[in-house]
Copies of this chain bind each other. A is one copy, B any other.
Amino acid sequence: MSTEKTVGFIGLGIMGAPMVRNLAKAGFQVVAWNRTRSKAEALQGDGITLADSPKSVGEACPVVITMVSDTPDLVAVTEGPDGVSEGLSAGSILIDMSTVAPGATRELAERLGKRGISMLDAPVSGGSTGAQQATLAIMVGGKEEAFQRCLPIFQAMGKTITHMGPSGMGQTTKLVNQILVVGTLSTVAEALTFAAAHGADLLRTIEAVAGGAAGSWQLQNLGSRMVEGDFAPGFMVRLQRKDLRLITEAAHEKNVPLPISSVAKQFYAAAEAAGYGEEGTQAIVKVFQRLAGVQVSR
């Protein structure tokens, strides 16, 4: 078994790649795997090696991180053919940092637990910028002992690291985070559309209200991008819709009405229908402004 300074990493996309770089920078030896190997080859060197399969990552590392797009991807890389779980042995830890269903997380943790493998669900907030700057918020579910053992790993990638409770509570917290993000951003789009319809100077309006009770991260960071017509993705419409699906499913399980999120969801659907799936979430303002027949974005 390798020392704790060796960490496996599966999924080297827009989030995973900079997270791996930060692990290497913090002195970890990273054994990484990506579905499309060619996209990951540039990462090699400086403490980062590429493995041939998730299974061989599990064999090489006592702690393996997964960072994939959705629940089925997580199932494929953990329990599919040559999956990481085949390589892991008792005493290992799987850390899933993807955003996936809390229920599926608890079930996977239970199956791994029977083989003596611990699992932490540790989804993140902060987007690609947070991943690059190692300032991610990391919300962790699972056993305290495993959390403590992995804390130095989390600290290499994030800033606000919170142990939220048992397995699944990291994912639950991430969904709470996304409910807040989606509702607040939709509110910002609606407010700016109202302001535009009344002929307001939109940047001045943001400046006048952002410091007070109307203020939010979304207004401060994405409000002006809406006005300036900058739709480069911090976080993509397409992925926000996936999180909205997870929110809806988790709410259904517990019979939680979602009056705000369910309305907001329609605007993300409309945004993807209009071809904005790969744009940043702030692109929903284009749906609002079209409905109102006004111009928010330059």
A residues with a Cβ closer than 8 A to B are 102, 125-127, 130, 137, 139, 160, 162, 164-165, 169, 172-173, 175-184, 186-188, 190-195, 197-201, 204-205, 207-209, 211-219, 221, 235, 247, 250-251, 254-261, 263-264, 266-267, 288, 291-294
Q: Nearest chain-B residue to A259 (Cβ)?
A: B263
A262 closest partner in B (C-beta): B263
Query: Are B127's CB and A177's CB within 8 A?
Result: no
Q: Is the CB of B195 within 8 A of A176?
A: yes
Interface of A is mostly: helix
Interface residue from B186, B199, B218, B258 paired with A194 (Cβ < 8 Å): B258
Asked if B213 contacts A260 (CB within 8 A), the reply is no
Copies in the complex: 2
State whether B180 touches A219 (Cβ < 8 A): yes
Given A137-B212, A216-B217, A217-B215, A200 contacting B172 (CB threshold 8 A): yes
Minimum distance in angstroms from A192 CB to a CB of chain B: 8
- Among B209, B235, B247, contact of A180 (Cβ-Cβ < 8 Å): B209
Q: A162-B204, A218-B213 are in contact. Are A254 and B183 (CB under 8 A)?
A: no
A200-B172, A208-B162, A212-B160 are known contacts. Are A261 and B190 too (CB-CB below 8 A)?
A: yes
Q: A180-B219, A213-B181 are in contact. Are A164 and B125 (CB under 8 A)?
A: no
Name A127's closest neighbour in chain B (CB-CB). B213
CA distance A186 to B216 in the complex (A): 14
**Contact B169–A292 (Cβ < 8 Å):** no
A15 to chain B, nearest CB (A): 14
Enumerate 30 A-B pairs (CB-CB under 8 Å) in ascending A order: A102-B198, A126-B212, A126-B213, A137-B211, A139-B209, A160-B211, A164-B200, A164-B204, A169-B198, A172-B198, A172-B200, A173-B195, A177-B209, A177-B212, A178-B214, A180-B187, A180-B191, A180-B209, A180-B214, A180-B219, A182-B187, A183-B184, A183-B260, A184-B184, A187-B260, A194-B247, A194-B251, A194-B258, A198-B254, A260-B264
